[in-house]
Structure formats: structure tokens, C-alpha cells
Chains A and B, each alone.
Chain A
Amino acid sequence: METYITPQAEMVPMTLECNILSGGDTQATNESYTEETITLF
């Protein structure tokens, strides 16, 4: 009786290029948090 609802496999089209980089650097930044205040207890 056990069967499972599972997504069916399907190709996901995506354009890909073939340029290869031999290592490198990135400059990474972060999103800031926002703040909310509540009274809980």
C-alpha cells in the first residue's frame, strides 16, 4: 500500500557556456539583518 508522491525526473533546460577559469578571486558581501522587537513573556 505504500507509494510515495515524488517529483518526476525531467530535464531542466539551462544555457551553459564552456569558458574555464583557472582559479580566481571574488568579492563577497552579505545582506544585513533587519530587527523587530516584541514582548513574549
Chain B
Amino acid sequence: MKRTVTLLAALALCACAQDPLPVAPSSQENLTPQAGQPSADPLPAAQDPWLWEEITTQLTGESVDGSLVAAFEQSKSTLSGKDVVWCAGDSYRMLGYDAEQKAFYTCDATTENGGASATFHYDRDIPQTPCYSVYPTATRHTNNKDYGIVFGIDIPAQQTATPGGISPGANLSYAKTERQADNPHFQNVTALLKFRLTGAAAASVKSVTVRGLNYIAGEGSLLTNGEEPAVLYTRRFSGQVPSRTVTLSGDFLPDTDYYIALAPGAVTGFTMVFTDDQGRHIAKSSQNAVLFKRSTILNIGAVNLGDSFADAPAVDTTPVAYLTATQGSKPFTLAVLPDGFTDVELSDYEILARSALDMLFNTQPYKRYKEYFNVWIMKVASNESGATVTDGNGNAITPVDNYFKSGWGDGYSDMKADTSIVYDYLRNHCPDMLDGSHKKSEVPVLILVNDLRYGGMCHSYRDGGTYCQVPYTFSGGQITWSYPQKSPSSDIDPSCDVIDTPSAVLEAVGKSTGDWRNIVVHEFGGHAIGRLLDEYWYEEDLTSTLVPHHNWAVPMGRNISASYTDPLWKDWMVQDDQGHWTASPEMTALRAHYGRVGMFQGGQVSVRNRWRSEIVSCMIDNRLYFSAWQRELIARRICEMTGVTFDRESYLAGDVDTADPVRDEEASPVIRGRKEPGPVEMPLLPPPVLEE
């Protein structure tokens, strides 16, 4: 979704010296996603907030769109050893500001002869001002208060195998000169992977795909505000999703150097997939993140593919034990399943599963009780990547042939999998179900979905059974969740007004920032394992005086009270003469953070007539903090599932890690040594589906 901002003439008050360079106006309104509305863009509207406000080049009157493909086809600077050499016909794009015309201009310069030092000619009238040049071209640009001149660039995700060289158009570079007439010295923007293929199978390779868990190519932004250019994928100029892969296609000569250009940065889940003319794969993955540095060739040397693609080993789908219980009389078994991961993507899945489980088991009380769990990372490949896109009501619009039939639409509320397939698979493959020690109702399931959309859902059943789904949202990009902006005016009176949440409250609770793994902690740790209900609220009321799920065979939602006078967590509080609850002085003396316990109106999506025990927790905005009462409930559930008698005194003695990282710990947001755009803020996810 392209948004064009017309420059305001008032921004340039003077035509000559000391003239301010206009910046794109901030437009918070324009960046507000329209959740739930259909969009023709590749990304749902809710993912638009990364877009820069764009500035057009009024002086030239040229379209800033559309020339990228032609530029790539024409440009072909190549390598000579480690040197970059211009080729005849190469051109680059210049950008500057014309104060007299009060507009930015763009102008392309072209060389006839090429060479290590090449003469480039340009034809139009341009002022002698600072000039920003991008090779082979930049389609779009903006001038931003915090980041200065930012270009829209595209590192090709499809590159052509070129023996000893770089694919045409893939070697992006950038130069800045103080005056347009100055000779530019271009800095390389990309990093290069260098490899050669050996083994008899190398002769039949037709493509080599490099894959990571983060974006490494595609449309992104080029930041120019540092000493070196930097590629940024968290803000961009179009709704086109960047790419986690780069594919080099063509005929490959054995024992010959090839190069793949990609965005600099640490690539986790680094995998190379070699494909032959029959579509057969050989995949090789790195256990560790691989660091690609700007203007650096990373030479991995020879990759031996063996004698034949037919000999390639099948993907190992043996379940991996992430945790094995050493405490309790019976393990509390959890199962993690992949959906929408093809066979060559299962290595991605295992990294993601471990990363999410690491976050869960570093959050209390799971950290304290991790020795009571068996956690299985199950592995099964899907025929296709991703998840089905629905119309929001469960009807497939874009079906994806994934194993467990995960899919959802805008609004995320119809997110589900096929439970018969889920439990058939677990019965036949999960070691703790195969041996008969665990029923399906005793094994909470997390399905990690290989889909970059926002979402998260938990389905819970009366008998204790539960599964949740969490996608790899935004390829791991940062997300901020906001505290509800409307609140009840009283924590006591269920007939009170609903008011704007006081700014003092918003300031006190802070902003929760994280990524898709925080959603795992909320859905899996909070709903599925802890059997907690959401503690956020919408502007609507539940009027019943009971939480019916408290009476399920395996109760759910004991973190929510439908009664001010008789809350389940009254052991944590004292009541004054008027019947008002406050944190118990005795408990507060034990741990200062226990002073946060009280009766707060709002929860279970109801703004009034439901109460929660603390002002904020993971069950509101996905922060890595379960409240004191939630921790006790989770600990009780773990004890119940593992045959351990819950002893409150010893529980409290061990509940020492009580801090909320959002409110109690310093954040360190510096990324790559420079200030970068903040995380995208997303609405809270829908409540769990509670099924009888």
C-alpha cells in the first residue's frame, strides 16, 4: 500500500542558504491499521504501520515507481577478485533537494564504458547540493527526522547463478557527496556468501536457496544516517513482505565460486537447500547464527553434496526431548507440533520451538518448576508452507495444504486446527501417549505455525485438554501491546462509569514489547497449561455472577472473580471496615511485590463485573510476568499434574523471582548501534475458545 505525501510549500521558506530540508510529515492517523477490514495488499492492513511516509520528486515530475526492474536488467556491476567493477551501461540514481524549486529531484547517471573507475554522465539541470546516490536505483525515498534520507531498495530474492560473479543488479551500493559535482565513492550495501559445490551430485544442481529465520532480501529500507549504509526491514515503503530466502538459479559448474548477495546481519536458522532438476532436495543447516557483515564476502568453501540426490538422507522426524522430568511422580507432558513447515523447513521449526520454550521456561513460575516437565518437540512435515487464509469465519480463501490444517482470517478469532489430526498424530508419535502414561487431556499442545501473520489462539476443554496455535508473526519482528485505553472508574462498583484509562495508570504499567514468543507465553503458559483466562477487557460487560468454567472438571479461569466480596485470592488480601480489599501487610512484608495484589475491576473481556488480582500481567498484554496469584495457580496446576501435594508455605518461600521486567527492569533497546524505528503496536488477541 503506497502512500504519497505531497510536499508542503511552507516547509521551504527560503530558496537559498540555511534552507531547511523538508521532512515527511508524521501521520499517526495514516499509520493506524484497519483491523478486520479486507485488504488487497499482500499484507493485511493491520501490518501496514511499518510503511514510511513517502516524498515524491516533484521537480522531475517522474514517477518514482516502476523503474526498478529496468534498472536491474541494465545494471551488472561485477566482481574482479574482491573489487567491484562498473560495466558499460551501468547507471545509478541521484537524489538531492532543490531549494529554489522547493522539491527533491532525482536524476540517473549512466556510464558508457564501465571500469573500476567509470565516468557517469547525467543530463538534467540539478543544483550543487548534497547528493545521495544509490546503485542500481532506489524506487522511493523519504526524509525522516530521526533517520534522515531513507531509500526504498530491493535486494533480489531471485538471483542468477554467475560463475565467479554476482547476479546482475544484486550488488547494491550507496554514496553521498556534499556537492553533486563531487566524484562519488560507492559503499557496498550487501554482504556476499561465497561457496562452491563438490561431489557428483553438484552437476545436477539447478538452484541453491539460502534461508534464514529473519528477512535477508526483498524490499526494504536503506538507512543513510550512519557512517555506513544499513539495510532495515522493520520499516519499508510498500506492503510487500520482505524475503527470508534468496534463491540462486541456473547451471552450476562443479568446483567453481558462486556468490549470493543478501542483507547484512546475523542470520539465525541458516540453511542452504540444493535442488536438482527433478525437484529433489539436499538441505544443510547451521546450528549457530551466521553473521553476514556489510561489504564482506563470507567464504564457506566447498559444499560436498555427495554422489547423488537420491542418496540424500530423509529428514529426521524423531521427537526431540526439550525437557525430561526429574521431579514429581509423573511428568507434566507438553507437546509442540509444527504446522506449515515443509521437510526442508523443519530445522527452522526446531529452532523456533526451542526459542519459544526457552522464553516460557525463563518466565516464572515455569522457570522454577521446569524439572517437573517432559516437553516433546514433535516433528512432522507439511506439504506446503504456511497456513490457510480464511474469510474470518472459517471458510478458506487461500487454502494451504499443511499437516494440521491451521488457518485463520482477519480478526484471528477463527484460528483453529483439525483436532482429529492433531490427536491422531500425538497418539501415534508422542512418546508419553504411545506408552499409555498420558491421555490427550493431560498433554497441552502448542502448534507453531509457519505463517508470518499476527495471531494466537487457545482452545480449552472441560476435561483439561487444550491446544493453542501461535504463528511466527512478522518473522520475529518486535511487537508492542497496549493496555486497554478505557477503564472502569471504580474498582469496587460494577455500575460505575467507563472512562479513559488515566495517564498515570498507563505510565505506571508501562509498555509491553516483545515478539511472537510472548504470545506463546500467554497462550501456552497462561491459557493452555495454567488454565488462566484473559485479564484484559473490551467496552462490554459480562453480567453473570459466576464464572462457569470454575466448575469444569478441570477448572479454568480461577484468576478471574465474578464477585468483589468473595474473590478466590482473598488469602493474599485484607478487608477494611467498608469491605474494601487491599494487599495483606503480612504478605507485603514477605515480598514487596506482593503489595501489587488487590481487586481490580476488568477482566475476561468485560470492563465491569469481573475482577483480577493485579493491575497488569501477561494475561493482559503478554509481558513476561504472571501475577502473584497467577503464579500460585500455575504452581498448583503443575503439582496436581505431577502428583505432588501443593504446600503453600514452601511455595511462597520459593517464590522469590517476583519482578515484572516491564516495570522493574531497565530496557536496552539499542539495535546495531543506531536508533531504529520502534516496534509495531498490535491489538490484543481474542480470548480463548472454551469448549464443553
Contact = CB atoms under 8 A, between A and B. Distances in A.
B558 to A, nearest CB: 26
Closest 3 CB pairs of A and B: A5-B678, A30-B84, A10-B145
Interface string B182-198: 11111110001010000
A19 B49 contact: no
Contacts of A26: 109, 119-120, 122, 181-184
Contacts of A39: 300-301
A15 to B, nearest CB: 6
Contacts of B28: 3-4, 6
B672 interface: no
B125 A1 contact: no
Interface string A1-23: 11111111111111111111111
Interface string A30-41: 111111111111
A20 B270 contact: no
Contacts of A29: 116-117, 183-186
B145 A8 contact: yes
Contacts of B194: 35
Contacts of B84: 30-33
Chain A interface size range: 35 or more
Chain B interface size range: 35 or more
A20 to B, nearest CB: 5
Interface of A: 1-41
B20 A28 contact: no
B128 interface: yes
Contacts of B480: 5
B286 A16 contact: no
B181 A2 contact: no
A18 B16 contact: yes
Contacts of B679: 5
A15 B16 CA distance: 8
B186 A11 contact: no
B129 A16 contact: yes
Contacts, number: 210
Contacts of B683: 1-2
Nearest to A27: B183
B26 interface: yes
Interface string B9-31: 00100011111111111111001
Nearest to B17: A15
B299 A13 contact: no
Interface string B464-486: 00000000000000001010110
16 contacts: A2-B33, A4-B31, A5-B677, A12-B20, A12-B23, A16-B17, A18-B16, A18-B99, A19-B127, A23-B124, A24-B122, A28-B119, A29-B184, A30-B173, A33-B84, A37-B301
A21 B297 CA distance: 38
Nearest to B144: A7
B26 A7 contact: yes
Interface stretch (B75-83, B378-386, B442-450): B75-83
A4 B286 contact: no
A30 B23 contact: no
A32 B299 contact: no
A9 B32 contact: no
A13 B21 CA distance: 6
B587 interface: no
A40 B145 CA distance: 41
Given A3-B28, A40-B300, A28 B120 contact: yes
Given A7-B147, A33-B192, A15 B18 contact: yes
A35 B145 contact: no
B188 A8 contact: no
A16 to B, nearest CB: 4
A9 B184 contact: no
B85 interface: yes
A39 to B, nearest CB: 7
B123 A18 contact: no
A16 B127 contact: yes
B548 interface: no
Nearest to B179: A17
Given A30-B188, A32-B84, 19 more contacts: A1-B482, A2-B482, A4-B681, A7-B146, A9-B24, A14-B130, A16-B99, A17-B17, A17-B128, A18-B99, A20-B127, A24-B122, A27-B118, A30-B77, A30-B86, A32-B82, A32-B83, A33-B192, A35-B194
Given A8-B26, A10-B23, A12-B23, A30 B17 contact: no
A17 to B, nearest CB: 6
B299 A28 contact: no
A36 B97 contact: no
B499 to A, nearest CB: 15
A37 to B, nearest CB: 5
Contacts of A40: 270, 284, 286, 290, 300
B143 interface: yes
A15 B46 CA distance: 39
Given A2-B33, A4-B680, A31-B173, A19 B297 contact: no
